[in-house]
Structure formats: C-alpha cells, structure tokens
Amino acid sequence: MALRIGIILGSTRPGRRGDQIASWVLDTARAHGGADYEPIDLTHHGLGNLDERGNPNLQEYEHAHTRDWSRLVDAFDGFVFLTPEYNHSFSGALKNALDYVYREWNDKAAGIVSYGGWAAGVRAAEALRLVLAELQVATVRAQPAVALIPAFSTGVFVPAEGLDVAVRGMLDQVIAWSGALRGVREAKAGAAA
C-alpha cells in the first residue's frame, strides 16, 4: 500500500500567501512521486480554539470536528508542514491543530517547508520541531525555506532557483522515514493485539 503524506498548510490568515506555496509544493511532490500526497488546509476543518476537555492522549473526543480531525491525521503515514513565521514562531492555528490530538501524530515522519521575511521562516520551523518532537513525530533534516521577497515580488509565487531540488530532497527523507515508521506502528499494533 502506498504511503500517504499530508501537506498541511499552517496558516488560516486571510490574504495568506501560503496557499500559493502549498499548491506549488503539492504539484512538486506529485511529480516527484514515491507516495500519495494530499493537501490539508486548516481553514477547512472547523477546529476553532481547542475545545476538548479531556487529555487528547485518551482519545475521548466530545466533538465531531475533533473526531473528524483525528481520523484524518491518523490516516497519514507522514506530513509536510508548510509554516509561516509569525513573531519568530509558527502560527497559533497550526499549534491549535497539533494540540487537538496526540496519538494520531505518534511514530510518523514530517518535513517542514517554512516561509517568511528575510529569514524565510526558519525560526518558525525550529520552533515547530520542538512541538513535533513532543508529539513523537520524527522531523527530517532537510528544510526548504522560502523568503517572501523576492518570491512574491510580482504578486504571484515564483520559486527561487533550486527550491524544487530542496523540496525533492526533503520528500526523499520524509518518504524513507515514513516507510520505516509505518513498520514501527504496525509492530506496536501487533504487540497490543
């Protein structure tokens, strides 16, 4: 069965630029192959501010939107997080989405594509790595980054030379780790049965 990799757009801000970058990353990933890639736009999941009373580790969700989110996250073998940089970190919307569930993230791989001002979102990516580690998500080393200037100097996203190579390199790592971690999840499920 093919690996499933979700490409998560980590911004819900009106007028965001991440949707153009996410679309380009998705097209690049699909052309690259090696897995089935699907977009996940946080604006389409109605999560709002975390509204579950219980500990997400227990998976006793009260709300339909959380159960839907749980099933979606659980269905993937790995992820590519597309994160903007807001005030030297990643978006509150992305943090909120991560916090809704716990076990569903465990033992999966992730790559990060950051974007922002002159620093190209690298501080957001590093902050995101800390949270993903707590969720037992293995982040890969390759970390493509997009500086909004000059990428949007025409108003439309134009990838910098070599960005496609960087994204493909990151995808190779995500695919390899996702495959290995699928085996870890299967072994844990077998041991629990």
We report the CATH number of the domain holding residue 101 as 3.40.50.360
Q: Residue 156 phi/psi, 5° resolution?
A: -120, 140
Please determine, for residue 36, whether its predicted confidence score (pLDDT) is greater than 80.
yes
Name the burial class of residue 158, with classes exposed (0-12), middle (13-18) and buried (19+) by CB atoms within 10 angstroms of its CB. middle
Over residues 47-91, the pLDDT tens digits come to: 999 999 999 999 999 999 999 999 999 999 999 999 999 999 999
How many structural domains does the chain have?
1
- Transcribe 66-113 into DSSP letters: HHHHHHHHHT-SEEEEEEE-BTTB--HHHHHHHHH-SGGGTTEEEEEE
Note the pTM of the prediction, 2 decimals: 0.96
* pLDDT tens string 167-185: 999 999 999 999 999 999 9
Q: Give one DSSP letter per residue of 6-45, joined into a string.
A: EEEE----TT-SHHHHHHHHHHHHHHH-SSEEEEEEGGGS
Domain that holds residue 98: 4-192
